[in-house]
Amino acid sequence: MSDKIIQLNEDLIKHDLKDLVRNSVEETLNALLDKEADELVNAEKYERSSNRQGYRSGHYKRNLHTTAGEVELKVPKLKGIPFETAIIERYRRRESSVEEALIEMYLAGVSVRRVEDITEALWGTKVSPGTISNLNKKAYEHIETWRTRPLSGDYPYVYVDGVYLKRSWGGEIQNVSILVAIGVSQDGCREILGAAEGMKEDRESWRSFFVWLKERGLTGVRLIIGDKNLGMLETIPEVFPDARYQRCTVHFYRNIFSVTPRNKMKAVALMLKAIHAQESKEAAREKALQISEKLQSMKLAKAAKKVEDGIEETLTYMDFPTQHWSRIRTNNTIERLNREIKRRTKAIGAFPDGQSALMLVCVQMSTTFLHC
């Protein structure tokens, strides 16, 4: 394996993920142009109607440069009436605002009323609920194609976690968990492997998630890094028998801080860090024993007990190349993504269903890694 295990897969970012957004922008704008043409003609394509105001006469192509890349517009040509559209000109003057509106359409948790308000503010007229629904479906198709793509090659290190979002269910607000996996390939590149709805992060949810990844081609897993979750721990040996588990050291510290008085947290933090600063697993175990005894003398019996019970599962990374240690002993790779997802979802509130939440996470994964 490469010494530099955390790198950006620039080819994936510049092509696959960027194309996903660009294609969705292109389809959305063309759908809106067709809708405008239907409204001007007062009839849909091939519709026989006495109220028809004009006829379609094909279209002409026009390139438009956007922040998502250059898109090809198919501008309708009409007979009997001129085709005048506000979308392109408004888009030119207010590109960033329209980009935000399009992204909102990708995030399926945004209500139809919200999208209508955005389009009215940008273009002066509301897009119908039916049109919004169709646009979201098209965006979902692109996202789903990327989310379920085949995986090739080995991924020795895999980071996993679940992020909780709010959803509406029977008039109540409930939590929905989205399980996320990020892998590190043999050449050291970080890649998003997948995301799936996990309900409550129970054993069956984790098992289904791991089996789904494996069926798509995930192989060569040697280490799975994540927070301690009994459902996940029970499933790893079943689905990936050759993989080992590394408990995130940061979450381990937080678990100990939960039973530590505030005025002693700084001292305890320094002691815990000393354990994982050792040069070998044997030295770390010995240091952990000393720390446990020290905590006992400080009358922190609960903290000492947590160190004794949990230290071993935080030292698995020491059986791997030393140059990888600092990157594989924590789950910070996914934690950063989770924080950005939580920040973006504050404005949305509750999603109408789990699928909506899943689509947002997939879109956010692409945009977050574009800015790494």
Q: Are 249 and 269 in contact (CB under 8 A)?
A: no
Digits of tens for pLDDT over the chain (372 positions)? 555 555 555 555 556 666 777 788 888 888 888 888 887 888 776 667 767 777 777 888 887 766 666 788 888 888 878 777 766 655 554 444 444 455 455 454 455 566 667 666 655 556 666 666 666 666 677 788 888 999 988 999 999 998 887 776 666 777 778 899 999 998 888 888 989 987 677 889 999 999 999 999 999 999 999 998 888 999 999 999 999 999 999 999 999 999 999 999 999 999 999 999 999 999 999 999 999 999 999 999 999 999 999 999 999 999 999 999 999 999 988 887 778 777 766 666 677 666 777 777 777 676 554 333
DSSP annotation of 13: I
Q: Are 138 and 328 in contact (CB under 8 A)?
A: no
CA distance 327 to 340: 20
pTM surpassing 0.75? no
CA distance 362 to 72: 25
CA distance 81 to 100: 32
HEC-encoded secondary structure of 195-208? EEEEECCCHHHHHH
- What lies within 8 Å, CB to CB, of 270 at 6+ separation is none
CA distance 34 to 46: 13
> For the chain, which residues make up each domain, given as ranges?
7-147, 157-370
CA distance 360 to 134: 17
CA distance 59 to 371: 37
* Sequence letter at residue 175: N
